[in-house]
Amino acid sequence: MSEPLLQLSGVHTHIGPYHILQGVDLTVPKGGVSVLLGRNGAGKSTTLRTIMGLWTASSGSITFQGRDITRMETPAISRSGIAFVPENMGIFTDLTVAENMTLAATKGPIDPKRLAWIQELFPPVRTFWNSSAGTLSGGQKQMLAVSRAIVESRVLILIDEPTKGLAPAIINAMTDALKELKETDTTILLVEQNFAMASSIGDTVAVMDDGRIIHDGDMAEMVADKELQERLMGLSLEAHQ
Amino acid sequence: MLTRLLSGDKPRSRVLTLLLLVIVISLAFAPFLFPGTKSLETAARICIFIALVASYDLLLGYAGIVSFAHTMFFGIGAYGTALAQSVTGPSFVSILWGTAAGAVVAAIFALAIGLFSLRVKAIFFAMVTLAVASAFAVLVSQMSWLTGGEDGLNYRIPRELTPAFKLIKAKVFDVRIDGKLLAYYLVFFASACLFLVMLRIVNSPFGRTLQAVRDNAFRAEAIGYRVVWYRTTATVLSAVIAALAGSLLAIWLRYTGPATTLSMEIMIDILLMVVIGGMGTLYGAVLGATIFILAQMYLQELMGVASNATSFIPFVSDLIAADRWLLWLGVLFILSVYFFPTGIVGRLRASRG
Amino acid sequence: MSEATIKPRIEKAPLGERMIEKLPVVLVPALAMLGLIAVGNPATWLTLTVAGLAMGLMIFIMASGLTVVFGLMDVINFGHGAFISVGAFVGFTVLIWLGGWTSSPSVFLNLSAVFMAILVAMLATALMGYAFERVIVMPVYGEHLKQILVTMGGLIVAQQLIYVFWGPDEMHVARPESLQGSFVLGEAAVEKYRLVAVGIGVVLFVAMRYVLKSTRIGLLVRAGVENGEMVEALGYRVRRLFLMVFMAGSALAGLGGVMWGLYQETITAHMGQEIMVLVFIVVIIGGLGSVEGCFIGALLVGLLSNYTAFLAPKVALVSTIGLMVIILMWRPQGLYPVVKAK
């Protein structure tokens, strides 16, 4: 793997009285898909939110493209090239699909060629272009959320459990789209609980538990090592299946 | 004994203890220490407002609920007693049933408003109470056949509580022992009782749960406390005590009108007293009410003097004119919310003087 | 992947549900009809209805800023009334300066004077809104209790400052010549100024809707009301957006203050605080954060106040409280509850 794009070292995050991240060290290399696994409450979503500046790290540092972004405000972090698809998708249900997309394009009007490509990846974004986003189904909302993140080219996309609660057919569609997205020069940091999906597109993998990273390495290595899977799966995926 | 009387809730600061002692002793012997009508009026007002402000603190400081209807309850109590006196004539029985009726009506109103609007956010309750209290004030001033309208009600109270009644012929320390003196001690002891009852409430398991609800409603709900029930109960208790304080005012003044009980100005005064004294500690109400009313009675004169002295500087003299003292209290209020949310009491306790 | 794997699902609520969704809109004409039955005389009814609409629209102007500010940042400004009062005093001062214009028989000069008064008042209250937001509101974001207290403190200070600048007395200004008197429609007399107020109110509502529905700023505001965090994650500074909305809301309150002042021809430092009672009722009825709800709530309150003021003058304010109670029993979050993410 190449140079690190994003690096977290010793990140601690407190939410109110709770100490959620307890020294997270995580390196996301440039290019490809990095997967963050872990059971519910391990701190995966908090890690993404801390990177985005939606929670502020109480100690430790986060560097992105060599720049310290630990204390930067969310809008500045976003404009430095990081897009975020939160767990709840963050769709503006009061707005139409088109308006959701327009707001996501911060650099000017949406590039028609790019839009055509996105609509190819996620046909509902075309079908329901002028519908209120509130009327979309869960899977369609998820597609819109990812589309919004890639409406302009981004350096890094943080995606929080894009397959959560979706039907298998839609999970496959989402996986295909992310695979295609991987071919562009965008890096993806994916939080997942679905190991089948994660292993099919992940290049590297890190496993979290109790607010710390307890394993990290290549995905291929983890897929091959049944014993490691057993040990980590038992820990990380017991909540799932 | 004293600790038990205070329900184990001690002032926890030497300066604060001293201040409270000075206030209590001054109020207890006010007729003898500060002779004169104006000082007795001031002392009685302070007693009544200590009870009233403490009852508001029960809601604001201990339950974390902002209400703008506290003067409504205060007024209901005052009008209850006032109407009883005017309808059935002056007697202790009519004082009793008037006071009781005021308290019951206040409780019913508080229960209704509480059940209706405490489910939602603090903001919602604040807005609803503001609207209801304003409408109530307008209604009272318009139902002049019953309430005397803007002019309010003048009525007689039992003769034993008026200056015309002489308990003993002789003067004690040059002070006449008359009905007015009895009325003052009625106000003093009743306010003191109300205050001690409130201390008991906030230090009971109920009071502690109330504070837990204030600090983390979500968590309290999760543990299994019925948050709405606790908040509504606090609202009702606070309303009843406010109504009782209103009855005391009605007895003391022998007059009840919108301006002395229901007006938004008094509501704002109460707010200022609680915050400046210290939210979430009943002793704050004692300090807040005392300081505020003394300032209201005496500081204005001082500012008038200062304003006249600076009358050659046009704008400055306007700023410190006697009528503008609320301006400076407003500024002080904002600053205390930012910098000393626990008010004077919090400061004193922090410095452990 | 193909279209076949993802079936387009058109989620349209059943007809009955959609009808109920639209029901609040019907409330206004329904109330007007009830008013007609209760009042009896159509001419009187017309006069009252125009007065009610004028009052409702003025309240809407003052309330709209408050409700959007709440929706966007969860901030309720109990000091909003201060902008109403200050707007009225600044506007009246301008009208006094332009005395020559207001007393002239020329309609153009009259309207120019009113326009200037409104402009200066809105400018002044917008600047005041800026100061208020930075000094009073900003330090207490996210803390409702402190917010209520501090903004109330701001109201006290602002009212006292009005006394310092304009003296303790109320202020009288007569409406410009051409805005005095009434039109006679059949048997009904309709005050000219009320029609002007209705006109300004309607134009403003249409403009506001346009801004919210069709401009980028409007989209951001609506998105921010629903999920401010996501708007930030898309790269927009919600705080700056909020400041702009706060200033706009303050300017609207100032506009409302001038209009209300011209309606009454007498203003006091407390007028804002008094009107705020109606504003709060309207905002609660409409659903905190909803502009449409605020509009309908304002019209309902305006109409109801005028009908009851005619039928039973003593219970006018109490009747609006009754309306609020009924609406909240029907919809506990108001007519148009605002969907909040999180």
The A187-191 sheet, strands edge to edge: A82-85, A156-160, A187-191, A33-38, A204-209, A212-218
**C chain contacts of residue A88, beta-carbon cutoff 8 Å:** 341-342
Query: How close does chain C come to A227, measured CA to CA in Å?
Result: 35
What pLDDT is attached to residue A28?
93
What pLDDT is attached to residue C14?
57
Higher pLDDT, C283 or B115: C283
Tens digits of residue pLDDT in A83-100: 999 998 999 998 999 999
What pLDDT is attached to residue C8?
44
Whether residues C235 and A106 touch (CB distance < 8 A) is answered with yes
What pLDDT is attached to residue C331?
85
Domain boundaries in chain C? 44-330
- Which member of A75, A88, A137 has the closest CB to residue C9? A137
Task: Report the complex ipTM.
Answer: 0.90
CA distance B175 to B171: 5
Residue C33, exposed/middle/buried by CB under 10 A (0-12, 13-18, 19+)? exposed
What pLDDT is attached to residue B249?
96
Higher pLDDT, B162 or A140: A140
Average pLDDT over residues A184-210: 89
**A chain contacts of residue C233, beta-carbon cutoff 8 Å:** 52, 54, 74, 78, 83-84, 86, 90
Higher pLDDT, B178 or B240: B240
Question: Residues in chain B whose beta carbon is closer than 8 A to a beta carbon of chain C?
Answer: 60, 64, 66, 116-117, 119-124, 126-128, 130-132, 134-135, 138-139, 142-143, 264, 268, 271, 275, 315, 318-319, 323-324, 326-327, 329-331, 333-334, 337-338, 341
Average pLDDT over residues B79-96: 90
Query: How close does chain C come to A225, measured CA to CA in Å?
Result: 32
Tens digits of residue pLDDT in B291-324: 999 988 887 777 777 777 776 666 666 676 667 7
Q: What beta strand segments (E) does chain B contain? A: 153-154, 166-172, 175-178, 255-256
Residue B287: pLDDT band (50, 70, 90) is very high
Domains and CATH numbers, chain B: 2-351 (1.10.3470)
pLDDT over 70 percentage in chain B: 94
Picking from A51-60, A118-127, A129-138, C185-194, which range would have the lowest pLDDT averaged per residue? C185-194
What pLDDT is attached to residue A227?
81
What pLDDT is attached to residue B120?
65
Give B207-267 as a DSSP string: HHHHHHHHH-HHHHHHHT--HHHHHHHHHHHHHHHHHHHHHHHHHHHSEE-HHHHT-HHHH
Average of per-residue pLDDT values in chain B: 87
**C chain contacts of residue A52, beta-carbon cutoff 8 Å:** 233
Chain A residue closest to C11 (CA)?
A135
What pLDDT is attached to residue B175?
73
Q: Who contacts C169 (Cβ-Cβ below 8 Å, separation ≥6)?
A: none
Average pLDDT over residues B204-231: 83
Query: What residue has token string 């006109």?
Result: C199
CA distance B125 to B129: 6
**C chain contacts of residue B143, beta-carbon cutoff 8 Å:** 314
Chain C residue closest to B271 (CA)?
C149
Q: Which CATH number is associated with domain C44-330?
A: 1.10.3470
Q: What beta strand segments (E) does chain C contain? A: 171-172, 182-185, 188-191, 266-267
- Helix C80-97 crosses helix C144-166 at what angle (to 10 degrees)? 20
Is the distance from CB of C92 to CB of C313 less than 8 angstroms?
no
Percent helix, strand and coil across chain A, each rounded to 5? 40, 30, 35
**C chain contacts of residue B329, beta-carbon cutoff 8 Å:** 156
Which of C85, C133, C148, C161 to mutate against chain B (most B CBs within 10 Å)? C148
In a structure prediction context, what are the per-residue pLDDT tens digits for chain C, which is 342 residues long? 444 444 444 445 555 565 666 778 889 999 999 999 998 888 999 999 999 999 999 999 999 989 988 888 788 899 999 999 999 999 999 999 998 888 888 888 989 999 999 999 999 999 999 999 999 988 888 788 888 889 999 999 999 999 989 988 899 988 888 888 888 877 888 888 999 999 999 999 999 989 988 899 999 998 988 898 999 999 999 889 999 999 999 999 999 999 999 999 899 999 999 899 999 999 999 998 888 899 999 999 999 999 999 998 888 888 999 999 899 888 888 888 876 654
Residues 139-198 on C with a CB inside 8 Å of A are none
Render the burial of C214-251: b for 16+ CB within 10 Å, e for the rest. Answer: eeeebbbbbbbbbbbbbbbbbbbebbebbbbbbbbbbb
By C-alpha distance, which of C280, C277, C257, C339 is closest to C67? C280
Is the distance from CB of C102 to CB of C111 less than 8 angstroms?
no
Residues 15-74 on C with a CB inside 8 Å of B are 70
**B chain contacts of residue C322, beta-carbon cutoff 8 Å:** none
Tens digits of residue pLDDT in A203-233: 999 999 889 998 888 888 888 888 888 777 6
By C-alpha distance, which of C112, C2, C87, C68 is closest to C261? C87
- Which tokens go with A51? 């990177």
Give A101-118 as a DSSP string: HHHH--SSSPPHHHHHHH
Tens digits of residue pLDDT in A137-152: 888 999 999 999 999 9
